[in-house]
Structure 1
Amino acid sequence: MASFGVSALDANAAGAAAAPASALTVGDQVAFGKPAASSTALTAVGIVGNITAVLVLAIPYFIFVKPVRKAKSVGAWKPYGFVMMLTNCMFWILFALPAFKHSLLVLGVNAAGVVIQGVYIAVYLWYAPAPSRRTTVKLLLGVLAICTVLAVLVIWFVMVKKVWSIRFMGVIASSFTTLMFVVGLVADMMELEEGRAGQIVFQLVVNMMNAAIWTSFGFLSAPANAFVVVPNVLGVACTAVDMAARLIYSKLTTSPAARAA
Structure 2
Amino acid sequence: MVQLAFLFGLGGNIVSFMVFLAPLATFYKIYKKKSSEGFQSIPYVVGLFSAMLWMYYAFLKSDTTLLITINSVGCVVQTIYISFYLFYATRQARIQTAKLLLGLIVVGYGLIIVLTQLLSKGQARAEIVGWICLVFALCVFVAPLAIVRQVIRTKSVEYMPFLLSLFLTLSAVMWFFYGLLLKDFNIAIPNILGFFFGVLQMILYLIYKNKKKIVEPTLPEIQTQIIVLEEHKLPELQEQILDVIKLSAIVSSEIHPMVPPQIIIPMNPNGDGKNGDENKILAVQVKEAASN
Whole-angstrom distance in 2 between the partners of 1:40 and 1:209: 19
Q: What TM-score, normalized to structure 2?
A: 0.66
Aligned to 1:244: 203
Aligned residues of 2:10 and 2:66 also touching (Cα < 8 A): no
Whole-angstrom distance in 2 between the partners of 1:214 and 1:68: 32
| Cα distance per residue 1:186-222 (max 9 Å; x no partner) | 234325524561131111111111001111222223x
Matches within 5 A, 1:167-206: 167-190=127-150, 193-194=153-154, 195=156, 197-206=158-167
Aligned residues of 2:19 and 2:167 also touching (Cα < 8 A): yes
Matches within 5 A, 1:154-233: 154-159=116-121, 162=122, 164-190=124-150, 193-194=153-154, 195=156, 197-221=158-182, 224-233=183-192
1:78 to 2:40 alignment:
yes
1:125 to 2:86 alignment:
yes
Aligned to 2:95: 134
Aligned residues of 1:192 and 1:198 also touching (Cα < 8 A): no
CA 1:208/1:79 → structure 2, altered by over 3 Å: closer, same or farther?
same
Matches within 5 A, 1:142-153: 142-143=103-104, 144-153=106-115
Aligned residues of 2:116 and 2:128 also touching (Cα < 8 A): no
Q: Name the SS of the counterpart of 1:253 in structure 2.
A: coil
Runs of 4+ with >6 A deviation: none
Aligned to 2:9: 46
CA 1:206/1:240 → structure 2, altered by over 3 Å: closer, same or farther?
same
Candidates 49, 55, 70, aligned match of 1:87: 49
Aligned residues of 2:117 and 2:125 also touching (Cα < 8 A): no
Structure 1: 5+ residue runs without aligned partners?
A: 1-37, 255-261
Partner AA of 1:54 in structure 2: F
| Cα distance per residue 1:24-62 (max 9 Å; x no partner) | xxxxxxxxxxxxxx432121111111111111112212x
**Structure of higher RCO (CA pairs closer than 8 Å, 6+ residues apart):** 1
Aligned residues of 2:12 and 2:175 also touching (Cα < 8 A): yes
Identity %: 25
Q: Name the SS of the counterpart of 2:38 in structure 1.
A: coil
CA 1:176/1:82 → structure 2, altered by over 3 Å: closer, same or farther?
same
Aligned residues of 1:211 and 1:232 also touching (Cα < 8 A): yes
| Cα distance per residue 1:121-153 (max 9 Å; x no partner) | 111111121111111110000012110111112
Whole-angstrom distance in 2 between the partners of 1:132 and 1:251: 35
Shift of 1:163: 8.2
Structure 2: 5+ residue runs without aligned partners?
A: 214-292
1:55 to 2:12 alignment:
no
Counting matched residue pairs gives 211
Shift of 1:104: 3.4
Aligned residues of 1:45 and 1:216 also touching (Cα < 8 A): yes
Aligned CA-pair RMSD: 2.1
Whole-angstrom distance in 2 between the partners of 1:163 and 1:112: 26
Give the stretch that moved more between structures: 245-254 or 225-234. Answer: 245-254
Shift of 1:246: 2.2
Partner AA of 1:242 in structure 2: Q
Give the stretch that moved more between structures: 209-218 or 243-252. Answer: 243-252
Aligned residues of 1:98 and 1:158 also touching (Cα < 8 A): no
